[in-house]
Amino acid sequence: MFVCEQAPFWPALVAWRLRRSHLQCLAIFPPSRNWIGGILIRVFLCLPLAEDRPLILQGDLTLILETAHPRFVEMRDWLLPFAELVKSPEHLHTYRITPISIWNAAAAGLSSGEVLDFLERESRYPVPDNFRTEVRTWFERCGLFRLCKGPEGKLHLECREPKVLKEL
C-alpha cells in the first residue's frame, strides 16, 4: 500500500497510477463545495518510486548517475551547478561534491536547502548524514571572508564572524 504525504483529506478513496517519471495519486473525495456530479477528483504528484530515482549517493560525497535513465539529461543539468564530473564511462557518470563546487553553487544563487531537497527527492537511497552536514557547513562558509580596500588603498580582510577571524 502506498501513502501520499500531500493528501489533505481523510478518509478518501485513493487510486494510484504509475507514470514513467513519478507515481501519480488520484484521490477521489466525497462531495464538497467544489464538486461536479457528486465526485471531486484531485491529482497529487508524489515522490518517484525508489527504482525510478536515478541518483545513488555515497558516503565519500560522490554521486552516481545512470546514463540509461530516461531522466538522465534533467538530472545532469541539475547536478552541474553544485557537483563536479569526475568520471564518465559509458553507463555511469560519477560526480563529486567539493567545497569549490558548493562555492560555485552559492555564487550562482543556490542555497543548501535547494541542493539537499534535490538530493533527497532524487536519491534512490536515503541521503547519508555526512552529505547534509558537509553541504550545510560549506554553504555557511561561503562569503564568510571578504577582501576590501582600506582608506589608503590597501586590501584588508573582513569577516562576518569575529570569532573565526580571531582563530585565523
Q: pLDDT digit string (tens) for 141-167? A: 888 888 888 888 889 888 888 887 787
More confident residue, 166 or 67: 67
Residue 119 main-chain phi, psi, to 5 deg: -65, -40
Q: Work out the mean pLDDT of the chain and round it to a whole number.
A: 76
Q: Per-residue pLDDT for 18 more than 80?
A: no
Q: Nearest Cα to 96, choosing from 114, 109, 82?
A: 82
Q: Per-residue pLDDT for 119 more than 90?
A: yes
CB 145 within 8 A of CB 162: no
Q: Per-residue pLDDT for 3 more than 50?
A: no
Distance between CA atoms of residues 28 and 58, nearest Å: 40
Percent of the chain with pLDDT strictly greater than 70:
70
Q: What is the pLDDT of residue 165?
A: 76
Q: What is the pLDDT of residue 142?
A: 87
Q: pLDDT digit string (tens) for 30-51? A: 444 444 444 434 444 455 555 6
CB 15 within 8 A of CB 28: yes
On the 0-12 / 13-18 / 19+ scale of CB atoms within 10 A, 98 is middle
Average pLDDT over residues 129-151: 88
Q: The whole model's pTM is what?
A: 0.64
Weakest mean pLDDT among 4-8, 57-61, 100-104? 4-8
SS3 readout for the chain = CCCCCCCCCCCCEEEEEECCCCEEEEEEECCCCCCECCEEEEEEECCCCHHHCCEEECCCCEEEEECCCCCHHHHHHHHCCCCEEEECCCCEEEEECCHHHHHHHHHCCCCHHHHHHHHHHHECCCCCHHHHHHHHHHHHHCCCEEEEECCCCCEEEEECCHHHHHHC
